[in-house]
Structures are given as C-alpha cells and as structure tokens.
Chain A
Amino acid sequence: MISGLVQILLFQSLGELVSKFALPTLPGPVIGLVLLIIWLVLRKGINPELALVADGFSQYLGLLFVPAAVGVVLFLPQLKANALAIISALVGSVILTIATSAIVVRFLSPKPTETGQ
C-alpha cells in the first residue's frame, strides 16, 4: 500500500511541478493524472499496489468533497435568492447532457449492439 501511495504522490508532485513551470492553466493533479496514464500505457499494466490505493481513493472519493462543500454555509443567502435558477439549471443540464451524449454515441456507433438488459 505504501508503494502505491508513493507512486500516486510522485505523479502528483510531477504534475504540480509541470503546472507551476510549464502549464499554469492546468491544475497540477490533472497533469499528474495524464502523466500516470502515459506511464501505465508505456509499461502496459497496473501494479497491484497502485491498484489497491487507487481503488481505495475511488471508493471513498465522496468523503473528500465534504470539507470544501461544507462551505455552503457561507453561501446560503445567495443560494436561497437564486434557488429557482440553480435548480432549473442543474436539472435541465443533467437531462440535456445525458440525452445528448447517449444520442450521439448511439447514432455514431457502427451497429447497435443488442447486449443490454
């Protein structure tokens, strides 16, 4: 597990360095993510230690949003004042996004595969 964490932190650090000195428009962790994908493609595989740590992170990803999202207490009056706009925007865009993505992928796929249900 430690070796997996070391690999993640190494790529995170590399990402931060590239972000600071070369690509300031991209967040460091996103650059780290891309570098790690390239590394995995080059060495053609994920080692079990890395998989263990990454799966742990994705399993409890939601927990990591909590501290920032609790900042909602600072925005309550503003959120209340804009409630209708916010709810409509979120619901509307979710429906439009899923529908558009689904329609595009379906009609561009060579043959509709009937593997579902």
Chain B
Amino acid sequence: MNEKHSIVEIWVYLSGSPLFALFITLAAYQVGLSIYKAAKQNPLANPVAIAIILVASIIQFVEMPYSTYFEGAQFIHFLLGSATVSLAIPIYRGLSSLKGRSFPLLASLIAGGLVSIIGAVNIAKLLGADSSITGAMYPKSVTAPIAMGIAERIGVSPTLTAIFAVTTGILGAILAPFILNALGMKAWWQRGFAIGIGAHGIGTSRAFSIHPEAGTYASLAMGMNGVISAVAIPILYHLFN
C-alpha cells in the first residue's frame, strides 16, 4: 500500500515536468532507429513512424492528454524552425553542382509541385474526404518542417499536415525505385531530383544512401520545393477555397 502510494507520487511528479515527454520522445526514436537498422534500412521500418506510433500508444496508455505531452516535447518541436534554416546548407551545396541544368530542373520542380497538390487534393475530394483533410493535403508534399509552417499560415492542422507529409515521404521512398525504373530513368541526378520533389526528407536520405549525386539533387529539389511552395501554396489555397 505504502509502496504503491509512492509510485503514484513519483508518477505525478514526473508527468508534470517536461522530462517525461522528452524522455519517451527520444527513447521511442532510439527504438525506431534500432528497428530500422535491424531491418537493414527497409523503408517500411521508418524510425519516425515507429516513434510516432510508440509515443502515441504510451500517452494513450498512461492517459496523458496530448496537450500535456506537447508542453514537454515542445523543446524538440521548437528546433524544427532551426532545422528549416539549416536546409540552406544542402541547397547551397546542390546549387554549386547545377552545371547548367537549371532550366529542366526548375520546370520539373514546378510541374511536380503542382501535380502533387492537384493530385492529392482532388483524389481526396473525389473520395469524399472532409475539408480539414483536403486542406491539410495542400502542403503535404513539402518537407515537414516547412509544411507545418505553411499549414499554420493557411489555417489547416499542422498535425494532419505533418502526418500526411511523413507518410508521403515513406511512400515515396518505397515506391520511387519502381516508378523510376518503369520510366527507364537512368541518370542519377534526374532520379534523385524526382525523389526529392516527391518524397522530400525521407526520400532524400534514402537517395543519399544509394548514390551521392542522387542525394545532392534530392536535397536540392526538396529545399527548392519547400521555398517555392511556401510562396505558392497560400496563394493556391486561397484561390480554391
């Protein structure tokens, strides 16, 4: 009885400080990374997805409201802004390896960016998704830190946007090799660039693990897509809503 009492006290203390939220977030990500490594970097074993499922299950299990969890985990969340600024470095590295390819790349970026929005929003609408879902589909093809910033600006849920963006990255990393092989794409820089537009962060890290040139062009595509989308999506969104 006495012992049980003290465990409750410890729990009350821990769950009231940011420590618990920080701990389960980092621990879950650590578990995700270990599983990802054990699965030989299979995209299905995505460490971010594993961490999200683990943390969501834990806070449901201990009946911690999401707002309490987020209050603690906001220290990690805050760094998204800094990580967004850091994207300047891979973009700059990519820019110096352009070698007169800017016209086809820019055209590809605009075409791919538009198709991703029009495709996602209209398929969701056609199948009867409600407007909070279709709204969050607008920024989902942009790398998550920028996508969430855009979501806040246009007034759709940053959470739904983050979930759709992460899922898009995972799907893109899995499907890209099949799509690109079916189209007979051979040049690494072209393959990488298409992956960067379609599968942003998760696709880019996959591209880097396959070929350095593919990775450089993927991160260039991801970054440029993010910057252009941050300007274009609010305009497109208000045009159609």
Q: Please report A residues at the B interface, Cβ cutoff 8 Å.
A: 5, 8-9, 11-12, 15, 25-30, 32-34, 36-37, 40-41, 46, 50-51, 53-55, 57-58, 61-75, 78-79, 82, 84-86, 88-106, 108-109, 112-117
- A78 partner residues in chain B, CB cutoff 8 A: 130, 132-133
- Determine how close the nearest CB of chain B comes to the CB of A26; give it in whole angstroms: 6
- A101 partner residues in chain B, CB cutoff 8 A: 108-109, 111-112, 115, 193-194, 197-198, 221
> Which of A29, A46, A109 is in CB contact (< 8 Å) with B92?
A46
Q: Is the CB of B120 within 8 A of A89?
A: yes
Q: Is the CB of B193 within 8 A of A67?
A: no
> Which of B48, B129, B164 is in CB contact (< 8 Å) with A62?
B48
Q: Is the CB of B201 within 8 A of A103?
A: no
Q: Mark B176-217, 1 if CB is under 8 A from A, else 0.
A: 100110010111111101110111011000000000000000
> Please, how many angstroms separate the alpha-carbon atoms of A51 and B153 in the complex?
30
- A55 partner residues in chain B, CB cutoff 8 A: 89
Q: Is the CB of B83 within 8 A of A105?
A: no
Contact A67 to B227, CB < 8 A, known contacts A29-B81, A36-B88, A46-B92: no
Q: Is the CB of A102 within 8 A of B149?
A: no
> Please, how many angstroms separate the alpha-carbon atoms of A93 and B115 in the complex?
7
Q: Is the CB of A95 within 8 A of B175?
A: yes
> Which of A79, A84, A109 is in CB contact (< 8 Å) with B104?
A109
Q: Count A-B pairs with CB separation below 8 Å.
A: 328
Q: Top 8 A-B pairs ranked by shortest CB distance?
A: A27-B149, A101-B112, A71-B159, A67-B73, A85-B127, A116-B186, A98-B198, A29-B84
- B133 partner residues in chain A, CB cutoff 8 A: 78, 82, 85-86
B35 contacts the other chain (CB 8 A): no
- A70 partner residues in chain B, CB cutoff 8 A: 52, 55-56, 59, 66, 69-70, 73
Contact A12 to B85, CB < 8 A, known contacts A97-B112, A102-B194, A106-B185: yes
> Which of A58, A116, A117 is in CB contact (< 8 Å) with B90?
A58
- Determine how close the nearest CB of chain A comes to the CB of B18; give it in whole angstroms: 11
Q: Is the CB of A54 within 8 A of B60?
A: no
- Determine how close the nearest CB of chain B comes to the CB of A35; give it in whole angstroms: 8
- Determine how close the nearest CB of chain B comes to the CB of A8; give it in whole angstroms: 5
- A114 partner residues in chain B, CB cutoff 8 A: 186-187
Q: Mark B99-113, 1 if CB is under 8 A from A, else 0.
A: 001011101110111
- Determine how close the nearest CB of chain B comes to the CB of A71; give it in whole angstroms: 3
Task: With CB as the reference atom, state the residue of chain A lying closest to B174.
Answer: A94
> Please, how many angstroms separate the alpha-carbon atoms of A56 and B126 in the complex?
41
Q: Is the CB of A100 within 8 A of B146?
A: no
Task: With CB as the reference atom, state the residue of chain A lying closest to B183.
Answer: A102
Contact A115 to B187, CB < 8 A, known contacts A37-B91, A105-B193: yes
